[in-house]
Amino acid sequence: MPLALFVVALFGTVDAAFEHQAFLGVHNIRTAGEAYAISPANKEGRYPGTPADLVKPPFSKFSFLKNKEKDLMDPWGGLYRCRTELDDRGNVRFYVWTERVVDGKVRRIGLPPPEKK
């Protein structure tokens, strides 16, 4: 059985398989962001300002993503997004997500920062 047919059989549709792949991509970038923040070379201990910082960190010549720029692309050809913000308790949070429009509605995968009130 070809891989594409196996994936469709496993997840039901190509779109469901892409959504699963997007969840994995969000997890991968989130994990890379955590490694970036605790890297000994990162003297300030900050999270990446943009997803591209994971590929070319300002404090190192080594990427935090195995496949570099390719890992920044979601399954639909868009870019994953990330942002660092303080939560309600003053803790630094690293948010990672991707989004697309399905039937006129925004579909988000991952966790975007909460809307400002």
Q: What is the mean pLDDT of residues 54-82?
A: 95
Residue 17 belongs to some domain of the structure: yes
Query: 83-114, pLDDT tens digit by residue?
Result: 999 888 888 999 999 998 888 998 999 989 88
pLDDT at 62: 94
pTM above 0.85, yes or no: no
In a domain, 100, yes or no: yes
What pLDDT does 37 receive?
Answer: 96
Confidence of residue 8 (pLDDT cuts 50, 70, 90): low
3-state secondary structure the chain: CCHHHHHHHHHCCHHHHHHHHHHHHHHHHHHHHHHHHHCCCCCCCCCCCCCHHHHCCCCCCCCCCCCHHHHHECCCCCECEEEEEECCCCCEEEEEEEEEEECCEEEEEEECCCCCC
Domain that holds residue 106: 3-111
15-37 residue pLDDT tens: 888 999 999 999 999 999 999 99
Is residue 56 one of the residues assigned to a domain? yes
Within-domain flag for 117: no
Looking at the 3D structure of the chain, how many domains does it have? 1
Contact 113/95 with Cβ under 8 angstroms? Answer: yes
Instruction: Evaluate whether residue 116 is within a structural domain.
Output: no
39-64: per-residue pLDDT in tens?
Answer: 999 999 999 988 999 999 999 999 99
Q: Which residues contact 82 (CB under 8 A, 6 or more apart)?
A: 29, 33, 47, 48, 50, 51, 94, 95, 96, 97
Q: Which two tokens stand for residue 80?
A: 């994953």
- pLDDT score, position 14: 75
